[in-house]
Amino acid sequence: MRFTCEQRLDNGVLEREFTLGEIPGVLWTPGSTPAPLILISHNGGLHKREPRLVARARHYAAKYGYAAAAIDAPGHGDRPRSAADEQARADLRRAVQAGEPLDEILDAFILPLVEKAVPEWRATLDALLSLPEIDGPVGYNGMTATGIRLALVEPRISASVFFGQGFVPHTLREEARQVTIPLQFLMQWDDEGMERQPTLDLFDAFGTKEKTLHANLGGHAGTPWFEVDDAARFFARHLK
């Protein structure tokens, strides 16, 4: 892991960009360390510097004393996009707008993304936990599809907060039945791109004995800010 630039924010949080091989990322650490770690994953199409993601990471570090890290998934953010990546995104947008079945498109777009992103998250986790300013345990906050697979293969993740309005292929919905770590599941009741019932069915499918559903009125990007604090309290029960 190589740090490429850093800045100390007014609240004492140290924000550093890094690269790990081809993986670009950002690490936020609080003034008091070592700290538990939260991995913050963006949903499909977004960037590790997406403003809402950055605001969450800085808040976790400044107010609650967590370290937080985000990386650009393959084909996202500062990483190159292939023609196949662009076509898959275009197909997904068209199908959502037309109200067409999504299963085949999700298998073609989301599954390959997850299969590439999960090993990168695990390699990033190896590097982060070798730093003296970071200590376990580890939480995950973000894209549900990636989070399901990570929860199954990465024993160092102790608890997760998933954004339920993301697209999850059938294969990963089946894998959700094997997820046993504590989780908090967020959904937007009026999400313009996702029907309610598949999201509720996915929550029901998770195999964990400790799961909580938070449903809020509003569209896809309207998750209330207070959910960030609720997530921090959830992590406090499991990471501290």
Residue 118 to residue 122: CA distance in whole angstroms = 6
Is pLDDT larger for residue 186 or for residue 43? Answer: 186
In the predicted model, what is the mean pLDDT of residues 125-144?
95
Q: What whole-number percentage of the chain has pLDDT above 70?
A: 95
pTM of the prediction?
Answer: 0.91
pLDDT in tens, 51-102: 899 999 999 999 999 999 999 988 776 777 777 777 777 777 777 777 776 6
Other beta carbons within 10 angstroms of residue 218's beta carbon come to 12
**Strands 134-143 and 157-163, how do they pair?**
parallel
Residue 3: pLDDT band with limits 50, 70, 90:
very high
pLDDT in tens, 201-222: 999 999 999 999 999 999 888 8
What is the overall mean pLDDT for the chain? Answer: 90
Q: What is the predicted pLDDT for the residue at 184?
A: 97
In the predicted model, what is the mean pLDDT of residues 168-177?
93
Q: What is the predicted pLDDT for the residue at 140?
A: 97
Give the range among 19-23, 41-45, 143-147 with minimum mean pLDDT: 41-45
Q: Which amino acid is at 153?
A: V
Give me 189's structure tokens. 């009741």
Residue 176 makes CB contacts below 8 A (sequence gap 6+) with 148, 168, 202, 205, 206, 207
